[in-house]
Every structure is written in C-alpha cells, then in structure tokens.
Amino acid sequence: MRVEIWSDIACPWCYVGKARFEKALEAFPHRDGVEVVHRSFELDPDRAKDDIQPVITMLTRKYGMSDAQARAGEENLGAQAAAEGLDYRTSGRDHGNTFDMHRLLHFAKERGRQDELIQILYRANFAEERSVFAEGAERLTELAVEAGLDADEVRTVLADPAAYADEVRADEREAAELGANGVPFFVLDRKYGVSGAQPAEVFAQALTRAWDDRPQLKLVADDDAQSADACGPDGCAVPQH
C-alpha cells in the first residue's frame, strides 16, 4: 500500500502532522507493507528566492493577523509540536521560498533518502536557530549531507534551477487535480484522503480501512489450474512424459 503526503517545509502543521501519522504507522500491524512517498506543495510559490522575512511579519502581512494574534498562534503551534515530542521555536524563525528544498527532496527520493531529508529540513526550519533560507545553498547542502546525500551531487542539483523542477510542478498539478488546497494532505492508495494534521487515531483508522479495501487477486483458470506446470522459488516443473 502506498501513502503519498503532500506537504511544504514552511508548513508547521505538516511538521506536526508527519509526527502524528508516523505514530499511527508505527503501531500499524502491516507497517512493513506501507510505502510512504513525499510530494511537493508550495504554500508561497510566488515568493522570490531572496524574499526572506520573519515568520511573524509574514503572518501579519499575508493573513491580516495582528502581531499579538500571530505570536499567540506560534505559541499554540509550539505546544502542539511539544505534545508530539517535537522541538519548535516560537520566535525568531524566518520564512522564504521552498522550491529548492522540494527539488532536493525529489533528488533524495532517487537516492532512497527522501524521508531522512524531509525530517532534517523540518527540524532545521522549526527547531534550530540557523536559517534554512538565509544561508542559501551551502546550508541546504550541509543538511542534505546529514541525510546521507553526496555534497557534490547536491551542489550540482542546486546550481541548476531546472533540475527536478518539472517533478515539483507535476506534484503540485496533481495536488490540484486531487482537490488539495492545503497541506498536509495524505492520499492512501489513491482511494482515501486525509486532510490536515489529524490526530494519530484518525490516521490509524484510515490506514486500516485502506489496507482492508485493497483489491484481492482472483485467479481465473480451469479446475486443473493448481496442478498446472509452473516455475517457482524451488525451480521449474519437469515434464514427466
């Protein structure tokens, strides 16, 4: 069974939602049969790469919040994150364009390190003092190496704006086609969707339902099918006549 998660590194609920989903997945009896794939979704796709500003400033300007409302919201998010065992800086964080991070996540997927990288990017953005935006390619390279990726390959990807750009845009188009207008957005086997950072219990229910509803293969054959010649792990049937 495949679970696809549309998310953005700049989205605090994606950070919290991933932890809640993983809590449900850890307890899921068929955990080893679940493939998790992270998909791209930019909350601020039109933001220029060099347009970096404090999170509180972004919230007041983009969403019309008062300064007090923005700070209270960050405190609430900090409490929600702490409840899931996550570190969260409620002040001093900044906000910027995440397109390069999404491109790197597609590269990491090819190298089998996508989940490691997205967790490191979340931690760096929400819990650490150093900015994932202001320090540019070198900071992202450092984090990608921590996730097990090759530094030179990462620099090559970041230096080429076209590298994995089509993959990011394809994910975003697909999100729109599926009706996702916000993140996190979870799609289970392309049959069930879960929107938002739901409680772990909701994810557990969704996993169970999707698993139980998987198509079951039915063989179409005559009555002698079970004795028909075939090859298997122990070798091939040898004709006796």
Give 11-64 pLDDT, tens digit per residue. 999 999 999 999 999 999 999 999 999 999 999 999 999 999 999 999 999 999
So what's the pLDDT on residue 91?
A: 96
Confidence of residue 220 (pLDDT cuts 50, 70, 90): confident
Residue 26 has a CB neighbour count (10 Å cut-off) of 9
pTM of the model: 0.89
So what's the pLDDT on residue 216?
A: 77
Cβ–Cβ < 8 Å for 183, 12: no
| pLDDT exceeds cutoff 70 at 223 | no
Residue 55 amino acid letter:
V
| pLDDT exceeds cutoff 70 at 158 | yes
What's the whole-number mean pLDDT along residues 1-5? Answer: 97
Cβ–Cβ < 8 Å for 18, 81: no
Give 87-97 pLDDT, tens digit per residue. 999 999 999 99
Q: What angle do CA 189, 41, 192 make, to 5 degrees?
A: 20
Helix (H) or strand (E) holding 219: none
Identify the bridge partners of residue 185 per DSSP, sorted by sequence position: 6, 195
What's the whole-number mean pLDDT along residues 1-6? Answer: 98
Cβ–Cβ < 8 Å for 204, 24: yes
C-alpha to C-alpha distance for 111 and 104, rounded to whole angstroms: 11
So what's the pLDDT on residue 221?
A: 67
C-alpha to C-alpha distance for 81 and 69, rounded to whole angstroms: 18
Residue 95 amino acid letter:
H
Question: Over pLDDT 70: what percentage of the chain?
Answer: 94
- What count of Cα atoms within 13 Å lies in the side-chain half-sphere of residue 6? 28
What's the whole-number mean pLDDT along residues 70-96? Answer: 97
Q: Residue for token digits 């394809």?
A: 170
Q: Residue for token digits 């919201």?
A: 73
